[in-house]
Amino acid sequence: MVTSNRALNQNLLLRSLSIDHSEGFIVKTWKALSAKTCKTGMAVAVLMGMLALPNMGLAATSLPLSDIAQNANKDSILKLNYAGVLKGYTDGTFRPKKEVTRAEFAKIAVLAMGYTDEQARLLQGSTVFKDLPADHWATGYINLAVSQGIIKGYPDGTFKPNNNVKIAEALTIFVQGLKINVSTPTVGEWYYPYLLEANKTGIYESAETPTAAAQRDTVAKYTSRFMETPVYANGAYYDRNGNADGTNQKLPVVKGIVSAYNKTSKKLKITGQKDEITIDDKAQVYGNIVVGAQVEYLLKKGNIDFLIVSTADSQIVEGVIKTGLNASTKVGDEKQFKAIVNGKEVVLEVVNGVNVTRSQIGQKFVAVLGDDGRVESITFSKNTTSGLIEKISAVSGTNAKKELKVGSETYVLASGATVKGKAHPQAKEVAGSFTDMEKGDLVELTLDVDGKVSTVVYTKLSATETIKIDTDENLILIGNAEYEVTRDTELIVDDEEVDELDELQDGKIAILTFDEDGQLKKVEQGTKVAGNKVIGSTTAYQAGPPVKLATIKVDKKTYNLLATAKLTIDGKRVSATTIKANQLDDYRIVSWKYNVGTNDIVELEVESQTVKGYVTKKSGSKITVNGKVYELLSGVSIDNNAATNDKEYTLTLDSDGKVKAISGALKTVSGLVEEVEIRRDNGEITSAKIVLDGKKYDVSEEDAVEDLDQFFYATLTLNRDQEVTAATAQGKKAEEKVKFIGIESRVNGDKYVFFEDVSTSLKLAEDAKVKYYDGSDMDEDDLKKTDKIDLWTKADGQVYAIVVLKR
């Protein structure tokens, strides 16, 4: 029996539409493989799992839709989202398995054909379909599709916009959109010829049942293929295997394999293409670009604006080469090499033409694996990393090692590692040592196959040098190196920012600070003010000959305390020539000023690190003062009853905050008595209070204040509840009802009060107060020559109170 061509084609189509044949195909293919290939094939699944793609650091755009990462049609969805033909929902999802209505597909189809939303809006309104009201959102798209002959309604005059579009219907519309003439079939289903044409053009691969409702991800796949199908200018489709002139695509996607890629310059080269292509800075890039990977991209103004890496991440492997190809007598081994991937040793096999030599041991590699798990493409690079040193540490003894923490990673130096260094970014590279490196240095580390550092090159980002200034070219020169002074470069003179380069001094020393790119960030000259540091150690001033200046050590650096330096210790001025060894150890620097680029201090204010208060808890070597726990250093002791007695303790701390010295005494306060209140009952004192310099104190030992009176200068002893337990008084009324003449200040700061006449005076104490007769305060400037005053003096004869009598 002879079968007609049409029947044969239908037969082929029906066989191609079946999805139950795949298992048989796999079985037949497996039997055809050699034993060696079978062994490789069984290992592929395991190998792919082991070689999960590490963080390769290649710039890629995060997916714009949250639910497509694992979808088989992800690439098509991304392309249509970029083209604006089929986008996601406002919540960031795509909903790939949602079924598409006929109205929705009409919009997709006309946009895929190259029409725009604006064109569709012009046709919005009445339609030829009786079930489609004029105000339906899709009338413009449906009318446009009808006008192009790609969509028809049902015989009863309806369109049924809310019905799900079937796969056969969608494919039919795309075939009609390609202007393909299709004859009506005489046998079989109406859609057979359309499916055959869709299969010829590459849109349909017979994977889905024609009568099934089309889901969004499937529609995305068909639509993407439709838009990429080459067509003649007159609209007829051209065979997908052809390459005729005069053809074009609605979605001009270029596909190829990456033969070269420069991440820094963002230039890409495709196998078979002569010229490089630049990836635009704002391009949408999905996936990791590596040599050997298959990519699809779209150009805009000559640059790549959209790119998808269609090679799966599981096929891209990054690691370190451990061996070259093994040319042993064992069959197959000559195509294998060992590598470290994700911290594990693996064996990789290469296809013909791929080579891995011993000279590449220790280098980084990125490889692309084929479906059989063999390396089809591989590129190599130096196994280096760079960044700022966060921490340096060294361990001696049997487990000796040297470590550098760069960023968040800690690297161990290999035995015999080479260290080289640069004094500043443009300086000549010279031999260095591990001890030359500091926190904040920029380093480039070369790693060996075990991940240990074989070579370190460090660059100092701060340099103290004599500078030359070229104001014409805006340059600062250090030896033969030139650094440009830009608008962002800070210029600091005497700790103040200046605007002009000529405010710096040519031929003088300066501190220069650079960024990680080697650009000049800051230049400092003159003196610099700093603070909030702790002194590590102190050496004494020696008069000589020769003279040796006192020194302090701060952050492991030694500074000279100039003999002429302005020195303040705990609020008192002190000569720098009186400093003794260890005198300022553990003192906190309130502020200091030193000459930039030198170690010479010209001004220094320090205070001892002390804590004063009552001990509330004592446990072993730990005590609690003011709610904070302090540890006593070895050899430092405190009273056993410190937590209950009335002593106020002064703790002196070292640089680690531990107590290196401690002393305790009953707390006393001194001042002018303003008021004493004593309550009696049957001749006995029942309670007492005293006001001293405006502060009121309860008295626990009432008879202690019985002899005190207003304007006495008293010293009160307090318990830990701040109650008075004892009191002493000094002071007497030295002059009574004398005439006030005036107060005179001397050059040295001393003051004298004159009374009666210009030849009679008494020295005022520093804390002297002026009071009215009722005890209220009075300003010194309010004293008048008409006032009558009493003068109260302490034992040293100095006036501590001027009391103005009633005017």
Confidence (pLDDT) at 51: 57
Confidence (pLDDT) at 240: 57
Are 358 and 364 in contact by the 8 Å Cβ rule? The answer is no
Mean pLDDT, range 20-49, rounded to an integer: 36
Residue environment code for 672-705, b if the CB has 16+ CB neighbours within 10 A, otherwise e? bbbebebeeeeeeeeebbbbbeeeebebbbbebb
Mean pLDDT, range 343-371, rounded to an integer: 90
All structural domains of the chain with their residue ranges: 5-46, 74-248, 254-311, 384-459, 462-525, 529-607, 609-730, 732-804
Residue environment code for 396-434, b if the CB has 16+ CB neighbours within 10 A, otherwise e? eeeeeebebbbeeeebbbbeebebbbbbbbebeeeebee
- State pLDDT tens for residues 62-76: 889 999 999 999 999
In the chain the first and final C-alpha atoms are separated, in Å, by 144
- Alpha-carbon distance of 306 to 254, in angstroms, equals 10
Lowest-pLDDT range of 57-66, 342-351, 703-712: 57-66
DSSP state of 170: H
The fraction of the chain above a pLDDT of 90, given in percent, is: 61
Residue environment code for 141-153, b if the CB has 16+ CB neighbours within 10 A, otherwise e? bbbbbbebebbeb
- State pLDDT tens for residues 662-696: 999 999 999 999 999 888 887 777 788 999 988 99
Burial of 535 (C-beta count, 10 Å sphere; 0-12/13-18/19+):
buried
Mean pLDDT, range 134-149, rounded to an integer: 93
Confidence (pLDDT) at 50: 53
Task: Specify the 3-state DSSP secondary structure of 163.
Answer: coil
Q: Distances in Å between the alpha carbon of 390 and those of 211, 323, 393, 417?
A: 64, 33, 10, 19
787's CB contacts (< 8 A; 6+ apart) are 739, 740, 804, 805, 807
Lowest-pLDDT range of 100-109, 233-242, 353-362, 597-606: 233-242
Task: Specify the 3-state DSSP secondary structure of 8.
Answer: helix
Average confidence score pLDDT of the chain: 87
pTM over 0.95: no
Task: Specify the 3-state DSSP secondary structure of 524.
Answer: strand
Confidence (pLDDT) at 180: 87
Mean pLDDT, range 775-790, rounded to an integer: 90
Q: Is a pLDDT exceeding 90 seen at residue 164?
A: yes
- State pLDDT tens for residues 708-737: 889 999 999 999 999 999 999 988 999 999
Confidence (pLDDT) at 596: 86
- State pLDDT tens for residues 462-493: 998 999 999 999 999 999 999 999 999 999 99
195, 201, 205, 209: CA torsion to nearest 10: -20
- Alpha-carbon distance of 441 to 116, in angstroms, equals 57
Task: Specify the 3-state DSSP secondary structure of 715.
Answer: strand
DSSP result, 305-323: EEEEE-S-GGGEEEEEE-S
The fraction of the chain above a pLDDT of 70, given in percent, is: 91
Are 386 and 459 in contact by the 8 Å Cβ rule? The answer is no
- State pLDDT tens for residues 100-112: 999 999 999 999 9
Residue environment code for 300-317, b if the CB has 16+ CB neighbours within 10 A, otherwise e? eeeebbbbbbebeeebbb
- State pLDDT tens for residues 419-459: 999 999 999 999 999 999 999 999 999 998 888 999 999 99
- Alpha-carbon distance of 402 to 692, in angstroms, equals 63
- State pLDDT tens for residues 204-248: 988 889 999 999 999 999 999 999 988 876 677 775 555 556 678
Closest CA to 593 of 540, 537, 524, 536: 524
Confidence (pLDDT) at 61: 76
Confidence (pLDDT) at 128: 93
- State pLDDT tens for residues 39-60: 344 444 445 555 555 544 345 6
- State pLDDT tens for residues 305-328: 999 998 888 888 988 999 889 867
What CATH number does domain 254-311 carry, 2.60.40.10, 3.40.50.10540, 2.40.50.320, 3.40.50.10860? 2.40.50.320
